[in-house]
Structure 1
């Protein structure tokens, strides 16, 4: 079998088939073997078989194809140990560019049968410039002694599409047995031009030499020998990479385009063109699983069944989803066996013979479900699951993105159409809406007649803050950057990295400079600049190397794996910090939500909560919020008691969490005592309540500044771990708190120590005082 026979390549390089380099190799191997060594006998025998080919030119015309094929079959014995291959490898012997094949393995033949245009497609997909670069490398090695191939092997990627599936391959061209032709083989020996650095740069992946630099005259160079080609199927790795690339365009591509590419890649991965699949998120509203119409249309099962999961009307559907989440194992139904009769019948009628459900659950996080359906009864077997499991982390990220989008759309709709109406104030909005309609929509919602306003309500403010949260975050970010920059420099210090897009030396210098900066300090601008350096300079350089230098692919892939935002080593410290903050916030917010619900039963009030590094809240209570229920001073005192007790319990809760946190973060507790009533009104532009009047505004100023208050005459912050700070202006404001403090001391929840402190003036606020109460943890049970 001889295919595409020309001696002179399209680029002008002359190469002829010869066994001389191979015979030289055999003779060298023979010399290295002992006289009695059977391996030496083999090399002697092979040398005897190939030596008669000397002086026969053109060899491929004077030797029939069977004789040539026999010789190459014999060469396989010597070549395969060099290539570390096995009998099932797809290989061939011949000459490169255009590919001239003299012998091929059964596997290579099977590949050509499957893709009849394989050779022409390889040539078409390996561009002219890459082919020219191949010859530059070979010339530089054989004529100038410049090593540019890694292990004398060049590799190129190409793809083949058949029956609706795309497969990806890498072809390796080994040039071990290609040498420059001896001088006496031609009429003249060309005088070598002086070596140019531009040629080396081009051979290593740089730009083609321009006219001023001057390129090599390829027709002046002559080679002889043969190459051997190895084709590897890299569909799985390439498909996973394509799926990863989908996420870099989540915010730019439309959702249908994202799904189209995701589904195409999955079909290629499992090798089934007629596969139907869907990825459906577990969207929830008020704890019930729901699906928008477009999601039901996307689901293979729901689309054909006509069912819509409705959390409020279909308890059976809810139970089905709950069971999938409770036992999130893949469910394969070859031949549809094992499905409920109704589902089996429905899928069969729609042409399906195999079905798969794969619930995507990560711990307590119910994300969604992957569905696959095929018209083939034996489409799904045990070999399918390992392929799918490779991409489950990517499916999880896609589902998380969808769920975030769903929740954001829901929140946006609520903000546009409604406000966050609490039952205690909903009556007032109904009243104002009726007034607006009664006036024939002639008044705006900002007019006095249609303003939502509550005069003379008492504010109760409290805050739990994470101590030194900003410093702890910067420490975590600094540590992660330090680890990444160190790994980056280690990778860049590998020898012979090409100077493409950026030079390794430049990147090392920049990384080292940032590493030094990290030992000093880190501000938000530095954080942004380091992130830009890694994303805009380092990542493109590594991506280029990954695509063009297969020997570096493992190391670079390992580096990129460590950048994963959820489990990568380069985000580990920040993840530890954020997990600790999240645990504290979740515990505190859950506690305050439950406690506040019980408080509503005592007297209706308006409750505002703000998410900061910790949690702040303000409660407004008074007669104007609940006109039908008389407001007595005792209700305010009950609220003070509730506030002090809840603050003690939240402090004890965070103290109990401390040894369990990934990063030990402490909290500080703060209460602002304010004995005067304020007026609040609803701001239509911001959809929230705000205070009115100069005195009321002073209260807002106090709230924003007291967390930074210092004890008078010192640099000590008022708020400290294991304490509760109670800030006030006049002693009358804390009188109602004192009996409850005494009660908590008797319960061994507060120590007997009470600090009475004066505070340093704050901007616009002076003569503030504070009580500092110390928590007693001795009554905590293990």
Structure 2
């Protein structure tokens, strides 16, 4: 026996025609003789087989009583309408169909032998609970609405997916509780309302097979492909995560294919940039534009003819091209949009503006490689879906604007997460004042009683390195120009050539003996105003053409001078800054987890960073000086690690520059406030300004009584003013010496007085280096240089 009850359920399923036969019993006494006789025929057919009324669970009996069932269901499945109606008789939940109209059979047959009919949106996991809710409605009179739109997805002969909505008629069903079925009270019902996912509770109230379902359902099925396609387009466009999926565009194609009933179509988009009057490509997985083809951007006047430009962008109306080849010949290939379609092998197309009240935002492009497939008739169907596409593009445009603002804020005017709460608070106050009709103002953002930490890893001798690079570039260019002029003076004896050669020699002497700040500007002006016209004149001299071409090959297109050594220097500084900043940012993630604090960094000739820590920043009464000490130790350790990271990568840089690290200790709490004009925090008050003065000048300070800078390559310098700071950092140094971060050569030095600042001292100690990350040997700076050169 093949049972209908294939899965666990509170109901024992039985196919029964009892409720239908009861209606025929009433019709048997009908005054209309024809109706009466027909009813009696049905009743006589069923009378010989009591199972048809009592119900059965054996699936095989459906075949045994096939003819009798067909007679019983004859009125429900009228032969006159069988080729028009889409209808089935079935058992609920198990999707067992035992009678259907001819049209339904043909639809399933057309789908192919491999097609498996399944109900979409039928939640398999919740089937038991759904059955329980039906019992509550049917047997206890509660009105629980758990109806969801069920439908079939069935491909047609062309492979296009069509959608069929299922409406159930349950007039011929009955649900009977067994003797052992627990009676559901109001208290039970209230408890169940709040426990939909508690399957154990539902099974307690409705044990398996504690009720019997007798009967069958009739499914009236309707082709809702157009409605479902529109709904699918809407939900697909709304789903932000879906739009990021690789298969998004292919799914989108399928939806359009279903809507238009066409298999061989593709969909593309292009963005309209009103300011530039350009069409631009949409970036995303699978996105394409048939109007742009392989271009990233195109002026609208170059992509459209006058008529199509006016139609799409001025009138904001769609148009179709049903036969591209014919239009290409008619326009003699002069219509840009027809030409670009022809080049891609497209034979029919629809272009529709995606527009709102503010104007056109983009173009929807539907194309086919077959003529006449797309035309002005089926283009009418776009009327139903364009509002959803417009809505999606509006939202996408807003999201892009927000993303651009976020990137600008992140890259240019970043608000650190540790203080973001304060800005949010003021923004809310601003909005509240506006809503109340008051004059809104963004109040001052300030934090009091916080401790500063400052550090920098600076390129040693950056000015000298930059000047040296500039000298080398100028010498290269001067010698190249001199060589050309010397040869030109032999071909054409003009005194002006000799004068220019003399001037070049003067510049060369000046570069090698006393390079000055304005030397670069003077020589560049000489090239632009004097040498350029001469070279332009000499290009006609064949014997000089190769040398002049070689001269210009070495000229940078942007700055218009030789930029070889300076570029190497600039590239080196950029790489150092990028690597050091990236390393520091990564380390900051773990530091914030220890205790939240404000952090900012700047790229100059090296990387500087500021940190502020204190209770007013964290917004909680949790600050303890231990967190300040911890952050100071963390900073010192990270500076040692940054030195190692730099020197391990130094050999890969265009120029092997040196760096020097420094930490400034300030042991008094201070106040900072956000300067709206500069979009950054700065210290508040006259006393606190002393800290900023020291920060800006200390790295250029000299050791007292000498002409040596306080910062030195291979060493970390810790600048301070209080004896307590010295003791504290000597403890940290001793600890890091035990961890082989620092060497034993600790120096205590006094600094020469700075303007308005006196009494500063410094601890200086050598960093221990590794050749690479795997190297466990420790080196001083000089040892490391020897090892790297070996």
TM-score range for the pair, normalised by the shorter chain length = 0.3 to 0.5
**What TM-score comes out, normalization by structure 2 length?**
0.47
Bigger Cα Rg: 2
**What TM-score comes out, normalization by structure 1 length?**
0.47
